[in-house]
Structure 1
Amino acid sequence: MLAYSTYSEAGGVGKTSTAANLAVAHARAGLKPLVVPLDPQDGNLSRLFGVDDQRTEPVDNIVRHMIRRPKGDFDDLVRSAEGVDIVPEHNMLSDLAEYLRREKEQAEAMGEAFGMHAQLLRVLREAGVPEKYDVLICDPPATEGPHLYNAIHATRSLAIPVEPTAKGRAAVEGLESLVAGLEDQLEVEVGVLAAIPMGFKNTRDQRQILDQIEYPVPEIIGERASLMEGCWMEQCSAFKYVREFRDRQRDYEIETLAQFDRIARHLEQDVGLEAPNPPEPGNLTHEVMSI
C-alpha cells in the first residue's frame, strides 16, 4: 500500500489541491485511493470535492472514531467523488487536541495506554483500510499538533508541495529538523517521497532554490492560479475542471494534468505499487476502471 501525507509548513502553497489531484491521478490509473483530510479550517479538501455538507451537524465523524466514541461503522463515514473515497472533515476537528487529551486521561485513570498520536492509525487498521485500498493520502494542516502527528504516524511518508521562493526554501530546510523531531517523538521512521515545486516561473532565483532541494523532484509545476481557483469554484479536481468547465483546452493546463499523472506514477513506483490501467499522462478521454 502507498501511504503518504501532503505537508508544507508554508501556507498557500497548494497542499490540499495537490492531495486532491494526486488522489484522482491514482484513481485514473485503476487504483483505489482513500483520502483522510484533517484540516479543521474551511477551504479544506472536503470542500474542494463537495462532500463537506455535514461538517456542522451532530453526525458520526473521524474524531469520534479516534476517541473511541463512534456512532457507526468507519465505512459509513466514507463519501466518494471522481473515483476517490474521502472521509470528510468535521468541525469536531477544531477541538481534536482537547478530545484526545481527555480520552488519554480517562484511559490512564483506568490503567490503559492511549497513544494520542497513534489513534488515526488504529482506526484505519481496525477498519481494514490497508486491505481495502491501494493508496492512503492524509492532508493535515500546516501547523504542528495532533492532526499532523496522527497523519504522519499513519502514513510514515510525506509528499511536500514547495513554493520556489526564499520562504519556501526555509520551509524545506526546516523540514529536516521537523522530520527528525517527529521520528523521535512518534518513534517511527518518516520518509520524504517527493518535493513538488508549485508556481514555478523559471526565474534565476527560483532555479537556484530548486537546485538546493535534496529530496526527489519528479515534476516542477508552473503558475496555475486560474486553474486551481477554477477547481475551488466548481468543487472538483483539475482533471474534471479542464474536461467539463473549460470552454477550450489549453496546452499548458493539459501538461499540468500530465504532471500530476506522472507524479502519481513516481510515488507508486517508490513503493513497488503497479497501477493496473495507467493513462497516457494528461489524457482526458482515458476510461477509469471500475473497482
Structure 2
Amino acid sequence: MLAYSTYSEAGGVGKTTTAANLAVAHARAGLKPLVVPLDPQDGDLSRLFGVDDERTEPVDNLVRHMIRRPKGEFTDLIRTVEGVDVVPEHNMLSDLSTFLQREKEQAEAMGEAYGMHAQLLRVLREAGIPDEYDVLICDPPATEGPHLYNAIHATRSLVIPVEPSAKGRAAVEGLEALVAGFEDQLEIDVGVLAAVPVGFKDTRDQRTVLDEIEYAIPEVFGERASLMEGCWMQQCSAFRYVREFRDRQRDYERETLAQFDRLARYLEREVGLEAPNPPEPGDVDHEVATI
C-alpha cells in the first residue's frame, strides 16, 4: 500500500490541491485511493471535493471513531467523488486535541496505555483499510498537533509541497530537522517520498532554492493560480475542471495535469505499486475505472 501525508509548514503552497489531484491521478490509473483529510478549517479538501455538507450536523464522523464512540461503521463515513473515496471532515475536528486528551486521562486512570497519536492508525487498521485500498492519503493542517501527528503516524511518509522562493527558503532549509522532529515526537521512522516545488517561475533565485532541497523532486509545478482557483470555485479536481469547465484546453494546463499523472506514477513506483491502467499523462478524457 502506498501511504503518505501531504504536509507543508507554510500555508498557501497548494498542499490540499496537491493531495486532491494526486488522489484523482491514482484513481485514473485504476488504483483505489482513500483520502483522509484532517483540517478543522472550512477551506479544506472536503470543501474542494464538495462533500462537506454535513460538517456541522450531529452525524457520525472520524473523530467519534478516533475516541471509540462511533455511531456506525467506519465505511459508512466514506463518500466517493471522481473515483476517490473521501472521509469528510467534520467540525468536531476542531476539538480533537481535547477529546483525545480526555481519553488519554481516562485510560491512564484505569492503568492502561493510550497513544494519542496512534488513534487514526488504529481506526484504519480495524476497518481493514490497508487490505481494501491501494493508496492512503492524509491531508492534515500545517500546524503541529494531534491532527498532524495522527496523519503522519498512520502514513509514515510525506509528500512536501514547497514554495521555491526567498519566503519559502527557511522551510526548505528546515526540512531535515522537521522530519527528524517528527521521528523523535512519534518514535517512528518517517520518510519523504518527494518534495514538490509549486509556483516555479524559473528565476535564478528559485533555481538556487531548488538546488538546496536534498529530497527527490520528481516534478516542478509552475504558477497555476487560475487553474487551482477554478477547482475551488467548481469544487472538483484539476482534471475535471479542465475537461468540463474550460471552454478551450490550454497546453500549459494539460501539462500540469500530466505532471500530476507522472508524480502519481513516481510515488507508486517508490513502493513497488503497479497501476493497472495508467493513462497517457494529461489525457483528460481517460475514464476512471470503476473498482
TM-score interval, normalised by the smaller of the two chains: over 0.9
Which one-letter code corresponds to 1:15 in the other structure? Answer: K
1:83 corresponds in structure 2 to 83
1:86: how far off? Answer: 0.2
Q: Structure 2-normalised TM-score?
A: 0.99
Alpha-carbon distance between aligned partners in 1 of 2:268 and 2:168, rounded to the nearest angstrom: 25
User: Quick check: 16-25 or 111-120, which moved more?
Assistant: 111-120
Alpha-carbon distance between aligned partners in 1 of 2:164 and 2:172, rounded to the nearest angstrom: 10
2:269 corresponds in structure 1 to 269
2:8 corresponds in structure 1 to 8
1:84-123 matched pairs, under 5 angstroms: 84-123=84-123
1:181: how far off? Answer: 1.6
Alpha-carbon distance between aligned partners in 2 of 1:167 and 1:137, rounded to the nearest angstrom: 27
1:183 corresponds in structure 2 to 183
1:260 corresponds in structure 2 to 260
Q: Secondary structure at the match of 2:12?
A: coil
Q: Aligned residue pairs: how many?
A: 291
1:214 corresponds in structure 2 to 214
What CA deviation, in whole Å up to 9, does each residue of 1:12-54 have, x standing for no partner?
Answer: 0000000000000000000000000000001100000000000
1:110: how far off? Answer: 1.4
1:288: how far off? Answer: 2.0
1:56 corresponds in structure 2 to 56
Alpha-carbon distance between aligned partners in 1 of 2:36 and 2:247, rounded to the nearest angstrom: 32
Alpha-carbon distance between aligned partners in 2 of 1:45 and 1:17, rounded to the nearest angstrom: 8
Q: Secondary structure at the match of 1:117?
A: helix
2:70 corresponds in structure 1 to 70
What CA deviation, in whole Å up to 9, does each residue of 1:188-224 have, x standing for no partner?
Answer: 1000000011011111111111111110000100000
Does structure 2 conserve the Cα–Cα contact (< 8 Å) formed by 1:10 and 1:167?
no
Alpha-carbon distance between aligned partners in 1 of 2:290 and 2:259, rounded to the nearest angstrom: 23
Q: Secondary structure at the match of 1:118?
A: helix
Alpha-carbon distance between aligned partners in 2 of 1:24 and 1:4, rounded to the nearest angstrom: 15
Alpha-carbon distance between aligned partners in 2 of 1:276 and 1:193, rounded to the nearest angstrom: 21
Alpha-carbon distance between aligned partners in 1 of 2:132 and 2:98, rounded to the nearest angstrom: 31
1:151 corresponds in structure 2 to 151
Identity over aligned residues, as a percent? 84
User: In the alignment, is residue 28 of structure 1 matched against residue 64 of structure 2?
Assistant: no
Alpha-carbon distance between aligned partners in 1 of 2:217 and 2:201, rounded to the nearest angstrom: 16
1:200-211 matched pairs, under 5 angstroms: 200-211=200-211
For structure 1, the 5+ residue unaligned runs are none
Q: Secondary structure at the match of 2:70?
A: coil
1:269-288 matched pairs, under 5 angstroms: 269-288=269-288
Alpha-carbon distance between aligned partners in 2 of 1:222 and 1:247, rounded to the nearest angstrom: 22
For structure 2, the 5+ residue unaligned runs are none
Which one-letter code corresponds to 1:23 in the other structure? Answer: A
Which one-letter code corresponds to 1:248 in the other structure? Answer: R
Q: Secondary structure at the match of 1:284?
A: coil
Which one-letter code corresponds to 1:139 in the other structure? Answer: D
What CA deviation, in whole Å up to 9, does each residue of 1:46-102 have, x standing for no partner?
Answer: 000000000001111000000111110000000010000000000000011000000
